[in-house]
Structure 1
Amino acid sequence: MSQPSSIQGKFVTGSPLKHVINMTATASIGLVSIFIVDALNLFYISMLGHGELAAAVGYAGTFLFFFTSIAIGLSIAATALTARALGCGDREGAKEMAGASLLFMTTVMTVMTVVLYPLLPLIMTGMGATGETANMAVRFMRIVLPSTPIMAVGMCMSALLRALGDAKRSMYVTLGAGAATAILDPLFIFGLGLGLDGAAIANVLSRFVLIGIGYYGLVKVHGLFKKPSWVSARAVLPAFWAIAMPSILTQIATPVGNTFVTSAMAKFGDEAVAGWAVIGRLIPVAFGIIFALSGAVGPILGQNLGAQRFDRIRETMRESLKVTVIYVLVVWLLLALFRNQVAAIFGATGDAKNLIVFFCLFVSASFLFNGVLFVANAAFNNLGFAFYSTMLNWGRATLGVIPFVWLGSHWFGATGVLAGYGLGVVIFGLVGGWLCFKVVARLEKEAIKTQTTANNAVDDATAIPSFKPTS
């Protein structure tokens, strides 16, 4: 048992900064590859020379992000429970938990797909798409949406490989899917002359690659799968949803806020939506390290909480915030310097170009506060305060988006929408950063109180009783 213990506790010693950098670097490779391919997809579409196509992909991407966010929330629960079983040495329990998690993922995503598929025209119209743009967005979604359960199961398999500690094969899952998309996109869009339909078909095929690599690593290599019985699935369902529900609520806050921004942009025409679509792809590519950081620091915080090393928890959060600030400042500088080149890469003109340039020059700086909020969310989720994460994310997606975007759109048009989107995160980033350190202080105080009580109880139990002589 000594070996698993040392593996589980590797983050309680050594430099927290080194752990943060190493974990973030590993996590970011697969994540950023997916974002880059997504941006390439939009780049290929923009080369067709029709602004409506880029806008259609923008609407579809906003809607698909909603599904991806739910899949991430479910994957968090799958990872947590499977890792817990593995940590206890219960491999059979871990296999059942992995099987049950994949069953839950398949069921939830299939039901959502079936329910929402007939509503696609209504959904696209509700988001602000009109005319030929709406028709193309619906056509794209009719091809891609049925493969959503496949995508979600592949994501879950990648997460379960991380629970095993096989970060390399987990990375291969996303890298393989990204490579498949990068190859198939130009082949179907240009080689076969299928245009937007080709992009959708390539997207679907890449999801089969995702699930294929995940299945090989999880089932064939590690054997971490057991078909769950009805009884076992019912037994683990409460524990699964206890983690999944707050995680899902936290994850879907972002696409809800983005949907409002897309609707606000739609009032200013397809060029504005196309510019926002490019920005939506540019953000995760430019700031993918920050997205990865929020997930990478979780195990570091969790292990040190178990070891009651609150000094290391504080240091980990401080180092994470330092990495965030330095990285964002560097990226902001690069985006500002090459703002016109970025717009030119996507063939943006008119309002689309103005929005991209404005984002690179000003709004990208707001990721200083987004990064702080990401680190705070990781702290809340791993220190037992997931409710704070949910509240802050929903606050950001509503109070931090709607009034700022509404005012910005009325005062400054499309650029005002973008400015409002960036300004709204400042308050929530600062509150999140302050609150996560308060949480650590509270946990430390409670731990000291508990330890003092336990020590007093031991002292009382071992004290030598004194007896008064009787007369």
Structure 2
Amino acid sequence: MSHAGGGRRPAPFVTGSIMRHVVVMTLTGAVGLMALFMVDLVDLFFLSLLDNTEVTAAIGYAGTIVFSNLSVSIGCGIAAAALVARNVGAGDQARAKEFATSALLFSLITSATITLAIDLGSGALLSLLGAAGEAKRLAQLFIWTLSPGYVLIAGAICCSFILRGLGDARRAMYITLSTALVTACADPVFIFGLGWGIQGAAAATVLGYVVSFGIGLHGVVRVHRYINPFRLSGLRRDFPPLWAIAFPAILTQLAQPFANAYITYEIAPFGDQSVAGFAIVGRLVPVAFGIIFSLAGSVGPIIGQNYGAKRHDRVRRTLTDGLIFAGLYTLATSFLLFLFRHQIAEAFNAAGRSRDLVVFFCTFIGISWAFAGGQFVANAAFNNLGRAALSSWFNWGKATLGTIPFAIIGARLGGPEGLLAGTAAGSVIFGIASVITAYNIVRRSETGAAR
């Protein structure tokens, strides 16, 4: 349905069951986000059929760098969703449309800049992570081939978040779901049919990004008519409020790639098999816990619309229901990972240390994602209640204080498995602290509104 006309656009999240909104937004958001991460898992699965540890390790090294662009794009999208949702909730459709336009332009420009930096610095970055020899050469080839798609997926993600801010969860899901479907179909053709190997996986992903961006533009521009003509003057006008959310949100999203990079650095001395095992875990996590990852972007618009409508009681309820949902989902998923831990390792041809690391993660570490889920929900509250900087502080605190000392101690005491256990402990601590802080902020907003 098109909303081309003026007037007041309905704010769907200010009425009805909060838990229903949380479940619908999170599940549809998770399908889209999991599809985005499924691209990496599909690439890794087909490349693992080549039965070459150096190829799998190369994907681990390259993925750590490539994920930084994805993180920045998600950070820009969070700003788009927050500003669109807030203005829709307040009944200002024209201003919401202006923010949607500026956010998309900002996302494209930012991604283009990062793409250039990644291409120029990939060799040095890979060396810093500990990549060497054939694994480094293959990782750099993957990065260079994939680079044309960085800007496309940034635009697609921003369109997806704009649609979330409008409450159109279904079309937001289609955008990233299309990426996984196209990549899954093209991967075997490019990798095996054309014999392109790791370069074929990257080319298939770029094709998926092209389709995804096209679907995103159709939903935002043609269906909702929610993008004005691009103008730098509009971006300059909207930059201060956009940057106020986008900058800390980007910093927040970059914390995870930093933590992954550090863990890769710590694992590298244990050999390519250990790096390959961590690469499998790194791609398994976003798919298995994609619903947890999607909480910040999915719960955010619900909080934003209710905050804009001054429904502070529903803001608190959204926070609580988001935490309940995260806990129940993590329990169920952790049980399934434990149940199929050996089959998962076999599906990726994991052997030796690779297999040990995958089985250990599925057995002991999965449950810690309940606390990561709590932090994602808290981040949604921070981003939509005018305290976006707290997201950065907590995420970077977790990526540094909650990762580095725990990783060092864990690696010394228990090797790669001890490293994973140590970083999980850090995640638990920061998850609890962020949730307590989020409730305090909600309480203050309620108290301030009552005066």
TM normalised by structure 2 equals: 0.93
Deviations 1:397-426 (A, max 9, x none): 000000000111112111111111211111
Question: What secondary structure, in the 3-state scheme, does the structure 2 residue paired with 1:347 have?
Answer: coil
Partner of 2:167: 165
Match of 1:102 among 101, 104, 108: 104
Measured at CA, do residues 375 and 164 of structure 1 come closer, stay the same or move farther in structure 2, by a change above 3 Å?
A: closer
Shift in Å, 1:210: 1.3
Question: Among the aligned pairs, what percent are the same residue?
Answer: 46
| Count of equivalent residues | 447
Q: Is the 8 A contact 2:161 2:297 kept in 1?
A: no
Measured at CA, do residues 240 and 205 of structure 1 come closer, stay the same or move farther in structure 2, by a change above 3 Å?
A: same
Question: What secondary structure, in the 3-state scheme, does the structure 1 residue paired with 2:371 have?
Answer: helix
Partner of 2:3: none
More deviation in 185-194 or 383-392?
383-392
Measured at CA, do residues 217 and 284 of structure 1 come closer, stay the same or move farther in structure 2, by a change above 3 Å?
A: same
Shift in Å, 1:290: 1.4
Q: Does 1:277 align with 2:271?
A: no
Partner of 1:81: 83
Q: Does 1:322 align with 2:303?
A: no
Match of 1:217 among 216, 219, 228: 219
Shift in Å, 1:149: 1.2
Partner of 1:178: 180
Distance 1:178 1:265 in 2: 29
Distance 1:211 1:307 in 2: 32
Residue type of the partner of 1:134?
A: K
Match of 2:301 among 284, 292, 299: 299
Shift in Å, 1:205: 1.3
Q: How does 1:55-454 map to 2 (within 5 A)?
A: 55-84=57-86, 93-448=95-450, 450=451
Deviations 1:58-116 (A, max 9, x none): 11111111111111111222333344555666655555443333322222221222233
Shift in Å, 1:264: 0.8
Q: Is the 8 A contact 2:25 2:169 kept in 1?
A: no
More deviation in 54-63 or 217-226?
217-226
Question: What secondary structure, in the 3-state scheme, does the structure 1 residue paired with 2:350 have?
Answer: coil
Distance 2:241 2:309 in 1: 24
Shift in Å, 1:307: 4.7
Q: Is the 8 A contact 2:86 2:304 kept in 1?
A: no
Measured at CA, do residues 53 and 87 of structure 1 come closer, stay the same or move farther in structure 2, by a change above 3 Å?
A: same
Deviations 1:374-398 (A, max 9, x none): 1111122222222222111111000
5+ residue gaps, structure 1: 451-471
Q: Is the 8 A contact 1:96 1:227 kept in 2?
A: no
Instruction: Provide the alpha-carbon RMSD of the alignment.
Output: 2.2
Distance 1:164 1:152 in 2: 19
Distance 1:294 1:88 in 2: 21
Partner of 1:7: 10
User: Which one has the largest radius of gyration?
Assistant: 1
TM normalised by structure 1 equals: 0.89
Q: Is the 8 A contact 1:100 1:227 kept in 2?
A: no
Deviations 1:148-181 (A, max 9, x none): 1122112212222333333222221111121110
Shift in Å, 1:308: 4.4
Distance 1:169 1:12 in 2: 20
Residue type of the partner of 2:195?
A: G
Deviations 1:214-268 (A, max 9, x none): 2222223333333233433322222221221111111111111111011111111
Measured at CA, do residues 125 and 158 of structure 1 come closer, stay the same or move farther in structure 2, by a change above 3 Å?
A: same
Measured at CA, do residues 54 and 170 of structure 1 come closer, stay the same or move farther in structure 2, by a change above 3 Å?
A: same
Partner of 1:28: 30
Q: Is the 8 A contact 2:259 2:403 kept in 1?
A: yes
Measured at CA, do residues 245 and 433 of structure 1 come closer, stay the same or move farther in structure 2, by a change above 3 Å?
A: same
Measured at CA, do residues 264 and 63 of structure 1 come closer, stay the same or move farther in structure 2, by a change above 3 Å?
A: same
Question: What secondary structure, in the 3-state scheme, does the structure 1 residue paired with 2:249 have?
Answer: helix
Distance 2:203 2:344 in 1: 27
Measured at CA, do residues 338 and 143 of structure 1 come closer, stay the same or move farther in structure 2, by a change above 3 Å?
A: same
5+ residue gaps, structure 2: 1-5
Residue type of the partner of 2:386?
A: G
Shift in Å, 1:446: 2.2
Distance 1:199 1:408 in 2: 34
Q: Is the 8 A contact 1:70 1:251 kept in 2?
A: yes
More deviation in 211-220 or 426-435?
211-220
Residue type of the partner of 1:326?
A: L
Distance 1:166 1:52 in 2: 42
